[in-house]
Structure 1
Amino acid sequence: MLNGNPANALHYLTRGAGLLVRPGLKRFVLVPLLVNLVLFVVATIALIHVYRDLLTQLVEWMPEWLAFVAWILWLLFAFLLLVVYGYTFNIITNLVAAPFYGILAEKIEQELTGKEPKPESLSALIPRTLARELTKLWYFVSRGFLVLLVLVVLWFIPVVNLASALISVLWAAWCMSVQYIDYPADNHQLEFREMRRRLNTESLTSYTFGGLVMAGSMIPLVNIFMMPIAVAGATIYWVEELSIKELSTKKT
């Protein structure tokens, strides 16, 4: 049974964007934005070169009688590269800026609840958050490989292969949801498996949240601001829905 509300996901992201401009929180957004800006320049330049080279090779390889479909392939390559671009940009940026996003999530939760978090030194925070990012990266790579195998098998089955696009989108959305909800969850040192279980109990909200983040990450310039907004939105989602599940679990 599917639970959750897709409208909640959009609500959390828009509220998160509003929180980031508050005077007490803006300074915690500055460093992640600078990291995003540097990586954006590098990733975008790489994207342009890769796209240009691939398109040139495709045109040279294509027989003349298929030249009329070149524009269709141009659009297809553009879309696929944007998906890869958005996904890669997210993974690299989050790996580099993980400690800063953890702090940002902590300060946003404090703003929402009025509760002071347990003190933690940077010498303890940085290695813990980086270790958690590597745990997530392994999860994405290992599960992603299995998803890829399923997609390859489906590709050779007529009609059924149309489902491969849907599976790709759902997997990308789930990854984005896991990526950002984990920041507030990790601040409470919630086990990674338990965090994923809670996300799955509100599947419609979680998949929509991740899908919106993924869509924003695919758009150059927008992706610079999308990640701090995603952290803020995910923290609201955690405070208002997912953290409450710990209480309900203890009562049963």
Structure 2
Amino acid sequence: MNPFIGPLYAIKGFNLIRRPGLRRYVLIPLLVNIVLFSAAIWLVASQFDAWMAQLLPQGYEWLEWLLWPLLAAAMLLLMFYSFTLVANLICAPFNDLLAEQVERELTGRVQGEETSLMQALRDSPKTLWNELGKLSYFLVRAIPLLILFLIPGLNLLAPFLWIAFSASLLAKEYFDYPMANHGYSFEQQREILKQHRIGSLSFGASVMVLTMIPVVNFMVMPLAVAGATALYLERIQK
């Protein structure tokens, strides 16, 4: 897959969630995203200047023109990505259902038995447990990167590493929904995505950019679930 495949499938995800047959599966994830991202935008707007003053390293004033946008992007990613994890934790049962219905929309069938809304709700403890497992995987890798932001000198590299890290984790987060519906464990999913590294990172980076755009980020979660499902079915599935 080429590096431009990610933006194409992000656009396809947006077009998919607008289809009449899928709109009702988008409603709850959309409402949760609106509430959480509104809170994130308010928090960033109220604390942005104070955070930037703390993050800019002393003695590097001559690099401020370069560091300011990088640190600002990294901080926004950290904040919005944190809220994205919370949104996915809350909406995991509905995202599984949305991925299943996107598959039906694209192929006319689903893997295994079709899940009803009540069944998705009954399975929510198992789904939430799986989400907590993913969250622990992410946190173990995120904490060392966050510590870099506090170390003078090394925090010059932190924004670049955090941006790459966020793209990778967002790809893993959203490909999990269609791939889990096909019976793949999280470990198996990571191995498959390694074989499609450029395409999956391209998609994760596209979602990452959309996450930082106000108003657009309200739609990111259902859009990303739909786009990842389409990309998996059409380009990755063997």
TM-score range, shorter chain: 0.7 to 0.9
SS in 1 for 2:94: helix
2:113 is aligned to 118
Aligned length: 233
Residues 1:134 and 2:135 aligned together:
no
Q: What is the identity, as a one-letter code, of the residue corresponding to 1:166? A: F
TM-score by length of 1: 0.80
Task: Specify the alignment match of 1:250 in structure 2.
Answer: none
Once the two structures are aligned, what percentage of the paired residues are identical?
A: 37
**Pair 80,147 (structure 1): closer, same or farther in 2 beyond 3 Å:** closer
Give me the whole-angstrom Cα distance separating, in 2, the residues matched to 1:74 and 1:149.
Answer: 18
Q: Distance in 2 between matches of 1:54 and 1:148?
A: 14
Name which of 4, 7, 14 aligns with 1:10: 7
d(CA) in 1 for partners of 2:178 and 2:69? 38
Which aligned pairs between 1:25-104 and structure 2 lie closer than 5 A? 25-54=22-51, 75=69, 78-104=72-98
CA change 1:151–1:76 in 2 (3 A) is: closer
CA contact (8 A) 1:101 1:228 kept: yes
Query: Does the 8 Å contact 1:155/1:164 carry over to 2?
Result: no
Q: Within 2, Cα distance between the matches of 1:210 and 1:102?
A: 18
TM-score by length of 2: 0.84
Alignment pair present for 1:207 and 2:201? yes
SS in structure 2 of the partner of residue 219 of structure 1: coil
Determine the structure 1 residue equivalent to 2:16. 19
State the 1:154 CA deviation: 10
Larger radius of gyration: 1
Report the AA paired with residue 131 of structure 2.
E
Report how far residue 135 of structure 1 moved.
1.1
String of CA shifts for 1:98-137, please: whole Å, max 9, x gaps.
Answer: 1111111110011111114414423543122211211110
Closer/same/farther in 2, CA of residues 236 and 42 from structure 1, 3 Å limit: same
Map 1:145-184 to 2 at 5 A: 145-148=143-146, 155-156=153-154, 164-184=158-178
Q: Which of 47-56 and 13-22 deviates more?
A: 47-56
Structure 2 stretches lacking a partner, 5+ long: none
Listed as ranges, the gaps of 5+ residues in structure 1 are 245-252
